[in-house]
Amino acid sequence: MALTPARTPPGVLELLPLDQIAFQDMLDTIRRNFERFGFLPVETPVFELTDILLTKEGGETERQVYFVQSTGGLEKGGTPELALRFDLTVPLARYVAEHEHDLNFPFRRYQMQRVYRGERAQRGRFREFYQCDIDVIGKDSLSVRYDAELPAVIYNVFRDLKIGPFTIQLNNRKLMRGFFENLGVADGEAQTLVLREVDKLDKRGADYVRDTLTGEAFGLSADVVRKILDFVAIRSTSHADALAHLAALGQGGDTFNQGVAELREVLELIRAFGVPEAFYALNLSIARGLDYYTGTVYETHLVEHPQIGSICSGGRYENLAGHYTKSHLPGVGISIGATRLYWQLREAGLIGTGTSTVDVIVTQMDEAELPRYLAIANELRAAGIATEVVLEPGKLARQFKYADRAGIRFALVLGSDEIARDAVQVKDLRRQEQFEVPRAELVKTLRVELEQAAAMAAR
């Protein structure tokens, strides 16, 4: 019989156990901080009704969505009834609209689940990946103060992930739109297109963007383009510098002035939220491609690894669920693409394999003593120590090799000698040390060893 090659479809990230542990550690850190800031957990199904997901009718969305079809439906043909979610924001909108009367507003939710996009697979781009989102949804209105809270969450998350210095970069869509209006680019659609080009500044360089904007597609004058590029080049180097830049912008139209005022308030509050000023900055080139952002927008970059790009982004939107409810539900949210982040951190050497979740392995010296080994394991487990017992007889060398490859740090050895002395040999495979402890002190000793190991790992 011909074998079917065992392989994953392209565009997925499947990990070996120790890597999976490292990835889960990352998710745990993110979740812990989301909860610390008082966000509530929500999970939604991987698939939604097709008409819910495709309300936007955007060609891009439809091209990237995976449809889900039952066998019966397949025979009937037509557009499938179900589709896989491609982000967590659309499901959130549906969720909030559906449960509107049972939710407490402002509604603060976090959600960490996989999403699916039918993209052409490429390095560091996935078709199945985790998003870790937090959003705050207001009823009728939502203070701009929440726009300042999210950077505080971001700061706490990435500080705890210990992946080096980073900058949360801020901009405001109102400021951008107001600025474009002043230049005569009044049409919303055109502004979006210009913003999208401006977003490529860091990647493609000023010359490319200048050529595009003065070219046929946009037809802007050289003077206007120069003003845009100068404006968009503004970056702050400190809190005071950011405020000075805002002050220097002067007055524009209503939209422009509102954008400036919002940015000023957000900046002031970010500081009050306790984010050190080295970790946030004004960057007027941050545009974000998504057209539903209406105010504050964020991107976060690692200072020492700019090639990684944004590791967390989001912003303010004026009305979350307009497709599903007449209620006006403004919100602000951010998203961490955990799968890509993990993958890139690993590529950059910033994250290694995890530590095995198994603390101790009980080796099998003497098959007849198996009940004794199992009793010890039960005692350790009761004390909260994750323990594995070797159940099949075999050479000790093999057992150690197994433990080593599994990344299990401590191995217990109990043969007739130790049993006679009522003692246990504890071998630390990492430090290549072995010592004997009285049987009665085993749990206490292992606890101390494990605490030390954890403390060393945390440094």
Partner RNA sequence: GUGGAUGUAGCUCAGCCGGUUAGAGCAUCGGAUUGUGAUUCCGAGGGUCGCGGGUUCGAAUCCCGUCUUCCACCCCA
Residue numbers at the binding site for RNA (CB under 7 A) = 9-10, 60, 63-64, 87, 117, 119-127, 129, 131, 196, 200, 203, 288-290, 310-313, 335, 337, 339-341, 365, 395-397, 400-401, 404-405, 413, 415-418, 425, 427, 429-430, 432, 434
Nearest residue (CB) to RNA, 103 versus 290: 290
Label residues 79-94 b or e (16+ Cβ within 10 Å = b).
Answer: ebebbbbbbbbbbbbb
Helix or strand run (H / E) with residue 171: strand 166-172
> How far from each other are the two terminal CA atoms of the chain, in whole angstroms?
53
Whether residue 344 is annotated as binding a ligand: the answer is no
Between CA 295 and CA 292 the distance in angstroms is: 10
Whether residue 131 is annotated as binding a ligand: the answer is yes
Shortest distance, position 255 Cβ to RNA, whole Å: 22
Whether residue 381 is annotated as binding a ligand: the answer is no
Nearest residue (CB) to RNA, 101 versus 120: 120
Pick the closest to residue 351 from 210, 167, 161 (CA basis): 161
Shortest distance, position 183 Cβ to RNA, whole Å: 21
Whether residue 317 is annotated as binding a ligand: the answer is no
State residue 120 phi and psi, 5-degree precision.
Answer: -75, 125
| Beta-strand relationship, 107-116 and 40-41 | parallel
Nearest residue (CB) to RNA, 9 versus 274: 9
| Beta-strand relationship, 360-362 and 410-413 | parallel
Under DSSP, the state recorded for 88 is S
**Strands, sheet with 107-116, edge to edge from the N-terminal-most edge strand:** 40-41, 107-116, 128-137, 331-337, 310-317, 293-302, 166-172, 280-282
Shortest distance, position 123 Cβ to RNA, whole Å: 2
Shortest distance, position 214 Cβ to RNA, whole Å: 16
Shortest distance, position 320 Cβ to RNA, whole Å: 15
Q: Which amino acid is at 175?
A: L
**Strands, sheet with 82-84, edge to edge from the N-terminal-most edge strand:** 47-49, 82-84, 67-68
Between CA 197 and CA 212 the distance in angstroms is: 8
The radius of gyration of the chain from alpha carbons, rounded to an integer in Å, stands at 28
Shortest distance, position 170 Cβ to RNA, whole Å: 16
Shortest distance, position 65 Cβ to RNA, whole Å: 12
What 3-state class would DSSP assign to 78? coil
Alpha helices in 205-298 (DSSP H): 206-214, 222-232, 239-248, 254-272
Shortest distance, position 249 Cβ to RNA, whole Å: 26
Nearest residue (CB) to RNA, 33 versus 89: 89
Whether residue 88 is annotated as binding a ligand: the answer is yes
CB 375 within 8 A of CB 45: no
Beta-carbon contacts of residue 295 (< 8 Å; ≥ 6 apart): 144, 147, 172, 173, 174, 259, 262, 315, 316, 317, 318, 332
Beta-carbon contacts of residue 311 (< 8 Å; ≥ 6 apart): 158, 166, 300, 301, 302, 336, 337, 341, 344
Whether residue 292 is annotated as binding a ligand: the answer is yes
Shortest distance, position 246 Cβ to RNA, whole Å: 25
Nearest residue (CB) to RNA, 117 versus 173: 117
DSSP per-residue codes, 342-392: HHHHHHTTS------S--EEE--S-GGGHHHHHHHHHHHHHTT--EEE--S
Nearest residue (CB) to RNA, 119 versus 254: 119
> Which residues are 361's β-sheet partners?
388, 411
Shortest distance, position 437 Cβ to RNA, whole Å: 13
Whether residue 402 is annotated as binding a ligand: the answer is no
From the annotation, which residues make up the binding site? 87-89, 117, 131, 135, 288, 292-293
From the annotation, which residues make up the binding site for L-histidine? 87-89, 117, 131, 135, 288, 292-293
